[in-house]
């Protein structure tokens, strides 16, 4: 048993000026109870203020974390767009060019850079683009979708008259994704088409539109009339030149070549070389490096009301050897005062006028070019000519246009 004094010493004691004061036991218990009550109240309040997590919240959080994203639903039109792009975009390439020009005054080289689009023709690394994309370039590089490193290209062949060029790069076959050629002859105005290119350097950009018109004509840089051009309203801008025009199956039906614009930016009127022309031209570029066109061997023509007049034939050329006649040159002496001068005059009445080739009417040099494009050098044709009021049919073997 503890005495009151020993219990006071054990529970609480204070020393003041050498005296020890013992607190009463009842006071100690009252204070202890008060402290415990305060602590219990604070702990209870803390639980009430803190956010509570119940079992429902835990289940909801787990469901959100584990739930797989629902597959996105596309309209049939959207799905077509996606399918065409996924099938074709890897076959579209970016083409960069650099031309070194010498300044006239300081004789220092100045570099000019350009860019455009193109597409993979085959696994051998042949790339097709517009001639005007690589015209005058000293260095041409091609960037593929599957490689971060560009490939230096060499020019295999060009056809300025149809604005077509073929390049060659040495790239692994697994990086090349050739596009499949379609049919431009079955296109209809109003059908959906797709253009992929690199406008403003933005690689493999897809734009969608319709065929606005068919069989348009336009002049190439050589002045030759290109026929069968496809007009589209899909957005084309600088850098789209040389990119493919595709149908809703992802088949190439044309190559984008020009826009009708005063500012050089899209106005909703674009033009594409039809794949029918590409199929005719590209094999010759691969084989010969040029298009070997058939020729009558006539250097100069003149416009008449009926057919086109023959001004001058090439010596020993097809027309010359077949007896087709050009101008007769007459030399005359003309007196002026006391002097005589020799003049040369062309007698147009003696010249033949070409009316048709194998029954195809010829009314202009454009008609003549279109007719000759149907033939190859060495083939025989029948040329209908008008000579001094009489129509003659003259057979001849076509030569090579040079």
Lowest model confidence (mean pLDDT) among 54-63, 153-162, 188-197, 314-323: 54-63
Mean pLDDT throughout 109-123?
87
Q: Are residues 241 and 256 in the same domain?
A: yes
DSSP letter for 73, please: P
Question: Is the model's pLDDT at 251 over the cut of 50?
Answer: yes
Based on the fold, state whether residues 135 and 282 are members of the same structural domain: yes
Does one domain contain both 125 and 220?
yes
- List helix spans (H) across 89-226: 131-134
Q: Strands 151-159, 164-168: parallel, antiparallel or unpaired by DSSP?
A: antiparallel
Q: Which helix (H) or strand (E) holds 129?
A: strand 126-129
Do residues 303 and 269 both lie within one domain?
Answer: no
Q: Domain containing 381 — which CATH number?
A: 2.30.42.10
- Statement to judge: residues 360 and 313 lie in one domain: yes
- Asked if pLDDT for residue 305 goes beyond 60, the answer is yes
Residues 170 and 123 in one domain: yes
Q: Please say if 41 is a catalytic residue.
A: no
Please pick, among 220, 241, 272, 295, the residue that the annotation labels catalytic: 241
Spacing of C-alpha 17 from chain mean position: 103
Of the candidates 30, 8, 32, 7, the one whose C-alpha atom is nearest the C-alpha of residue 20 is: 8
Residue 310 has pLDDT above 70, yes or no: yes
Contacts from 279-283 at CB under 8 Å and sequence distance 24+? Answer: 279/181, 280/373, 281/159, 281/162, 281/164, 282/121, 282/128, 282/164, 282/166
Query: Does residue 59 lie within any of the structural domains?
Result: no
341 pLDDT exceeds 90? no
| Confidence tier at 358 by pLDDT (50, 70, 90) | very high
What's the pLDDT score for residue 17? 41
Give the least confident one: 38-52, 82-96, 131-145, 274-288.
Answer: 38-52
State which of 255, 288, 321 marks the end of a domain: 288
Dump the DSSP string for 300-340.
EEEE-SSSEEEEEEPTTSHHHHHT---PEEEEEEEEETTEE
Residue 71 lies in a domain: no
Model pLDDT, residue 71: 81
Q: Are 291 and 285 in contact (CB under 8 A)?
A: yes
Query: Residues 159, 213, 225, CA angle at the centre, nearest 5°?
Result: 30
More confident call, 202 vs 34: 202
Q: One of 132, 184, 220, 272 is an active-site residue; which one?
A: 132
Q: In 68-125, where does DSSP find H-type helix?
A: 76-88
140 and 36 belong to one structural domain: no
Task: Match 């033939």 to its residue by tokens.
Answer: 375
Indicate the pLDDT class of residue 331, thresholds 50, 70 and 90: confident
- Which pLDDT band, with edges at 50, 70 and 90, does 224 fall under? confident
Distances (CA, A) of 284 to 126, 152, 162, 291, 293: 13, 23, 13, 5, 10
Cα angle 48, 50, 53; round to 5: 100
351 pLDDT tier (thresholds 50, 70, 90): confident
Q: Per-residue pLDDT for 42 more than 60? A: no
d(CA 279, CA 281): 6
The arithmetic mean of pLDDT across residues 231-250, rounded, is 92
Domain that holds residue 27: 4-46
**In which band, very low, low, confident or very high, does the pLDDT at 225 lie, cut at 50, 70 and 90?**
confident
Which run of H or of E encompasses 389?
A: none
In a domain, 331, yes or no: yes
Residue 386 lies in a domain: yes
Sequence-distant (≥ 6) Cβ neighbours of residue 305 within 8 angstroms: none
- What does the block give as tokens for 126? 């042949």
Q: In this structure, is residue 64 part of a structural domain? A: no
Model pLDDT, residue 143 = 93
Catalytic-residue membership of 132? yes
Residue 253 and residue 218 in one domain: yes
Condensed to tens digits (0 to 9), the pLDDT of residues 181-218 reads: 999 999 999 999 999 998 888 888 999 999 999 989 88
For residue 160, give the CATH number of its domain: 2.40.10.120
Do 303 and 272 share a structural domain? no
Report the range of poorest mean pLDDT among 83-97, 178-192, 216-230: 216-230
Q: Do 42 and 122 fall within a single domain?
A: no
d(CA 209, CA 323): 53
Rounded CA separation 344/332 (Å)? 6
pLDDT in tens, 92-104: 999 999 988 766 5
- Domain membership of residue 233 (yes or no) is yes
Catalytic residue among 88, 126, 159, 163: 163
User: Per-residue pLDDT averaged across 4-28, rounded?
Assistant: 44
Q: Does residue 279 have a pLDDT over 90?
A: yes
Verify whether residue 147 is a known catalytic residue: no
In this predicted model, what pLDDT tens digit does every residue of 261-277 receive, in sequence order?
766 666 778 999 999 99
Q: How far is CA 398 from the centre of its chain?
A: 37
Same domain, 129 and 251: yes
pTM for the structure as a whole: 0.71
Q: Give Cα separations from 152 to 98, 108, 140, 143 (angstroms).
A: 12, 25, 6, 9
Rounded-to-integer distance, Cα 92 and Cα 120, Å: 7
In this structure, is residue 244 part of a structural domain? yes
Lowest mean pLDDT among 42-56, 136-150, 175-189, 234-248: 42-56
Task: Please answer whether residues 285 and 293 qualify as being in contact, where contact means their C-beta atoms are separated by less than 8 angstroms.
Answer: no
DSSP designation for 72: P
Query: What is the overall mean pLDDT for the chain?
Result: 82
Q: Are residues 154 and 259 in the same domain?
A: yes
What's the number of domains the chain is made of?
3
Structure confidence at residue 284 as a pLDDT band (50, 70, 90): very high
Asked which of 288, 308, 343 is the last residue of a domain, the reply is 288
Question: Does 52 fall in a domain?
Answer: no
pLDDT for res 265: 67
Q: Which residue among 243, 265, 288 closes a domain?
A: 288
Per-residue confidence band for 33, with pLDDT thresholds at 50, 70 and 90: low
Q: Does 349 score more than 90 pLDDT?
A: no
3-state secondary structure of 79: helix
């Amino acid at each position: 048993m503890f005495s009151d004094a020993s219990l006071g010493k054990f529970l609480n004691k204070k020393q003041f000026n050498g005296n020890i004061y013992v607190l009463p036991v009842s006071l100690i218990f009252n204070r202890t109870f008060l402290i415990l009550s305060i602590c219990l109240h604070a702990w209870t309040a803390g639980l009430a203020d803190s956010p509570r997590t119940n079992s429902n919240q835990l289940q909801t959080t787990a469901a959100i974390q584990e739930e797989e994203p629902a597959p996105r639903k596309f309209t049939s039109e959207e799905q077509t767009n996606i399918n065409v792009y996924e099938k074709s975009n890897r076959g579209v390439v970016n083409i960069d060019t650099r031309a070194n020009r010498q300044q006239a005054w300081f004789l220092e080289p100045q570099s000019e850079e350009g860019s455009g689009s193109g597409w993979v023709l085959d696994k051998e690394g042949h790339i097709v683009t517009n001639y005007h994309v690589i015209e005058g370039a000293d260095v041409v590089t091609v960037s593929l979708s599957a490689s971060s490193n560009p490939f230096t290209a060499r020019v295999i062949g060009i056809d300025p008259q149809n604005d077509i060029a073929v390049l060659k790069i040495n790239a692994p076959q697994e990086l090349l994704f050739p596009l499949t050629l379609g049919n431009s002859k079955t296109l209809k105005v109003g059908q959906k088409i797709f253009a992929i290119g690199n406008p403003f350097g933005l690689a493999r950009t897809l734009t969608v539109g319709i065929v606005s018109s068919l069989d348009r004509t336009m002049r190439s840089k050589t002045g030759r009339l290109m026929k069968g051009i496809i007009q589209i309203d899909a957005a084309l801008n600088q850098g789209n030149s040389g990119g493919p025009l595709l149908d809703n199956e992802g088949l190439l039906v044309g190559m984008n070549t020009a826009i009708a614009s005063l500012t050089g930016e899209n106005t909703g009127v674009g033009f594409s070389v039809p794949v029918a022309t590409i199929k005719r031209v590209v094999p010759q570029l691969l084989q010969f490096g040029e298009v070997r066109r058939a020729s009558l061997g006539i250097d100069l023509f003149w416009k008449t009301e009926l057919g086109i007049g023959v001004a001058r034939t090439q010596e020993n050329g097809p027309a010359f050897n077949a007896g087709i006649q050009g101008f007769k040159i007459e030399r005359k002496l003309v007196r002026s005062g006391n002097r005589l001068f020799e003049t040369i005059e062309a007698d147009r009445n003696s010249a033949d006028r070409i009316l048709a080739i194998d029954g195809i009417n010829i009314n202009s040099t454009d008609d003549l070019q279109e007719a000759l494009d149907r033939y190859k050098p060495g083939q025989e044709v029948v040329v209908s000519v008008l000579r001094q009021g009489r129509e003659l049919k003259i057979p001849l073997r076509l030569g090579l246009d040079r």
